């Protein structure tokens, strides 16, 4: 247990760092609020805050990228798009071997606030499947349980939460008996927080006793894995491949043997899946090569003419969309998430942040008044040795629930799940009637506990006797599920 420094020593440290105002209301606080403020202040890394202020406020912003010599990052194509089928088979076998040997863990980042969806609760508890309304967490839990069964292995699952949603997340698992998983193999990790500052770099207070803190971004997941002791636990269990995905994407094969295999064969520290962009200005990051480094450049940073640039055959030059699907090497996480110099950079975001002014009044600003700092996980790529990028089919990998309506909403995600299920049935020889968008005419579901990906489904379906009659409302789940 760490001891909390005394108010006198903390006040001195904060004053020396130009942040003494944090204790401005100290004498007016009751004992409980004083203890709360003391605890929080003691957790703040003042040196990090000073560096952030120096770089992002005083230094006039982080270094701006030039895009003149930008190249598309190379990637391994799917066999159906010209990739070497034998190489994919080999990768799949290597990945399967690693899964069987217990070398692979699943890692879900679920610390975000899900503001766009506007759902009251952790996003992982949002119901998504078309018939039984399973939640995102249940979908992943069942895919992981199925993979553990398929590869006769223990698979550990690490879940990044934040202070805001950790208790609710843990409760959701407890109330549902961990969705059939062994609780000893499910690990919750609370991500770090960084104080928000005003335009002068002064830490904001959201009330007299509370420092305005914001989560350190999905990039903070790497240092959270180290700080929480998760990487040490992984080392103890012989886990060295970490399969990373976001909480809002139920299409993801949580543990993809071919992807894991390519990562291992490439001796890669950080591997990524690219999805070909659906249209030139799709709002995704772009995998690029910059001065020999593999990087992801956000759509908001990449000039539109680059996003739209085509090759002589008319195809998009910068076609590789980044959708936050990675495999990390554990030792790499230990390096970039630990004390080494190779750290993920912070990005600045200007926001409206309610704060208490010097008179003790709470102000709700109408325009951006504060700055929050976040790390992005894809910034790990240029720090990694031998990064590998493989192509993923969108239909098998990506349909996030981000917005309440419109694009990337529960509705589009349900349709994409239906199309995915219909595609799996087709691969198993069952063709369903579909509309012009390829959406089946009926609503049905394949239980993730029955099959975790297309290939798994085909072999499970072959073994199923009698095979389920496909009709509206049916759930394909095999016997005893």
- Report the interface residues with ligand UTP, using CB under 6 A: 109-116, 123, 160, 191, 215, 217-218, 246-248, 402
Residue 352, classed as helix, strand or coil, is: coil
Q: Report in angstroms how near the CB of residue 372 gets to ligand UTP at its nearest.
A: 10
Q: Report in angstroms how near the CB of residue 107 gets to ligand UTP at its nearest.
A: 10
Establish how many alpha carbons lie within 13 A of residue 78's alpha carbon, considering only the half-sphere containing its beta carbon: 12
Q: Report in angstroms how near the CB of residue 374 gets to ligand UTP at its nearest.
A: 6
Q: Report in angstroms how near the CB of residue 414 gets to ligand UTP at its nearest.
A: 18
CB-count burial class (<10 Å; 0-12, 13-18, 19+) for 39: exposed
- How far apart CA 110 and CA 162 sit, in angstroms, is 8
CB nearer to ligand UTP: give 246 or 409: 246
Q: Report in angstroms how near the CB of residue 377 gets to ligand UTP at its nearest.
A: 8
CB nearer to ligand UTP: give 92 or 256: 256
CB nearer to ligand UTP: give 95 or 111: 111
Q: CA nearest 81: which of 348, 390, 454, 464?
A: 390
Cβ neighbour number for residue 236 with a 10 Å cutoff? 9
Two structure tokens written together for 318: 């910068």
- How far apart CA 76 and CA 372 sit, in angstroms, is 37
Region for 176 from its dihedrals, namely left if φ exceeds 0, alpha if ψ lies in -120 to 50, beta otherwise: alpha
Q: Which residue sits closest to ligand UTP, CB atoms considered?
A: 112
Residues 364-380 as b/e (b if ≥16 CB within 10 A, e otherwise) read: eeeeebbbbbbbbbbbb
Q: Report in angstroms how near the CB of residue 111 gets to ligand UTP at its nearest.
A: 3
- How far apart CA 350 and CA 364 sit, in angstroms, is 15
Q: Report in angstroms how near the CB of residue 202 gets to ligand UTP at its nearest.
A: 23
Per the DSSP assignment, residues forming a β-bridge with 257 are: none
CB nearer to ligand UTP: give 22 or 110: 110
CB nearer to ligand UTP: give 41 or 109: 109
Q: Report in angstroms how near the CB of residue 360 gets to ligand UTP at its nearest.
A: 30
Q: Report in angstroms how near the CB of residue 242 gets to ligand UTP at its nearest.
A: 14
CA angle 95, 92, 444 (to 5 degrees): 100
CB nearer to ligand UTP: give 95 or 114: 114
Two structure tokens written together for 383: 């720090």
- How far apart CA 472 and CA 476 sit, in angstroms, is 11
Q: Report in angstroms how near the CB of residue 218 gets to ligand UTP at its nearest.
A: 4
Q: What is the CA radius of gyration of the chain?
A: 24
CB nearer to ligand UTP: give 94 or 247: 247
Q: CA nearest 186: which of 129, 254, 119, 133?
A: 254
CB nearer to ligand UTP: give 23 or 244: 244
Q: Report in angstroms how near the CB of residue 137 gets to ligand UTP at its nearest.
A: 12
Distance between start and end Cα atoms, the chain: 44
Residues 419-453 as b/e (b if ≥16 CB within 10 A, e otherwise) read: bbbbbbbeebeeebeeeeeebbebbbbbbbbbbbb
Q: Report in angstroms how near the CB of residue 471 gets to ligand UTP at its nearest.
A: 34
CB nearer to ligand UTP: give 215 or 392: 215
- How far apart CA 192 and CA 302 sit, in angstroms, is 29
Residue 137 · residue 172 · CB < 8 Å: yes
Residue 103 · residue 94 · CB < 8 Å: no
CB nearer to ligand UTP: give 209 or 247: 247
CB nearer to ligand UTP: give 70 or 190: 190
- How far apart CA 160 and CA 165 sit, in angstroms, is 10
For the chain, give me the number of helices (H) and strands (E)? 14, 21
CB nearer to ligand UTP: give 243 or 460: 243
């Amino acid at each position: 247990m760490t001891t909390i420094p005394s108010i006198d020593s903390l006040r001195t440290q904060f004053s020396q760092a130009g942040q003494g105002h944090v204790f401005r209301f100290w004498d007016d606080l009751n004992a409980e609020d004083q203890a709360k403020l003391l605890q929080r202040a003691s957790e703040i890394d003042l040196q990090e805050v000073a560096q952030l202020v120096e770089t992002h406020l005083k230094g006039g912003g982080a270094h701006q990228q030039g895009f003149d010599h930008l190249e598309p990052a190379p990637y391994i194509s799917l066999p159906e798009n010209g990739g070497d089928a034998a190489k994919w088979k080999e990768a799949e076998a290597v990945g399967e071997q690693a899964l069987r040997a217990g070398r692979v863990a699943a890692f879900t980042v679920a610390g975000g606030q899900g503001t766009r969806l506007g759902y009251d609760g952790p996003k992982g508890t949002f119901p998504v499947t078309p018939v039984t309304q399973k939640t995102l967490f249940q979908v992943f839990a069942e895919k992981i349980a199925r993979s553990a069964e398929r590869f006769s292995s223990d698979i550990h699952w690490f879940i990044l939460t934040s202070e805001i949603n950790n208790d609710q997340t843990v409760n959701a698992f407890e109330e549902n008996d961990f969705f059939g998983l062994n609780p000893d193999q499910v690990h919750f990790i609370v991500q770090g927080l960084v104080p928000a500052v005003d335009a002068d770099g002064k830490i904001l207070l959201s009330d007299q006793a509370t420092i305005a803190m914001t989560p350190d971004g999905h990039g903070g997941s790497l240092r959270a894995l180290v700080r929480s002791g998760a990487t040490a636990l992984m080392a103890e269990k012989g886990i060295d491949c970490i399969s990373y995905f976001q909480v809002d994407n139920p299409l993801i094969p949580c543990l993809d043997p071919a992807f894991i295999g390519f990562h291992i064969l490439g001796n890669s520290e950080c591997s990524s899946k690219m999805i070909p962009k659906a249209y030139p200005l799709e709002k995704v990051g772009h995998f690029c090569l910059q001065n020999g480094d593999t990087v992801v450049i956000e759509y908001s940073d990449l000039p539109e003419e680059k996003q739209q640039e085509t090759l002589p055959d008319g195809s998009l030059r910068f076609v590789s969309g980044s959708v936050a699907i990675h495999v990390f090497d554990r030792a790499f996480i230990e390096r970039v998430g630990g004390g080494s110099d190779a750290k993920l950079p912070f990005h600045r975001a200007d926001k409206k942040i309610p704060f208490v002014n010097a008179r003790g009044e709470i102000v709700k600003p109408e325009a951006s008044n504060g700055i929050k700092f976040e790390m992005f996980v894809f910034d790990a790529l240029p720090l990694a040795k031998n990064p590998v990028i493989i192509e993923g089919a969108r239909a098998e990998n990506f349909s996030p629930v981000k917005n309440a309506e419109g694009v990337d909403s529960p509705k589009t995600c349900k349709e994409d799940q239906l199309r995915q299920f219909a595609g799996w049935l087709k691969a198993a020889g069952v063709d369903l009637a579909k509309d012009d968008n390829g959406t089946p005419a009926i609503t049905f579901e394949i239980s993730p506990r029955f099959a975790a990906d297309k290939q798994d489904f085909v072999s499970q379906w072959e073994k199923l006797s009698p095979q389920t009659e496909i009709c509206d409302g049916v759930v394909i789940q095999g016997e005893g599920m």
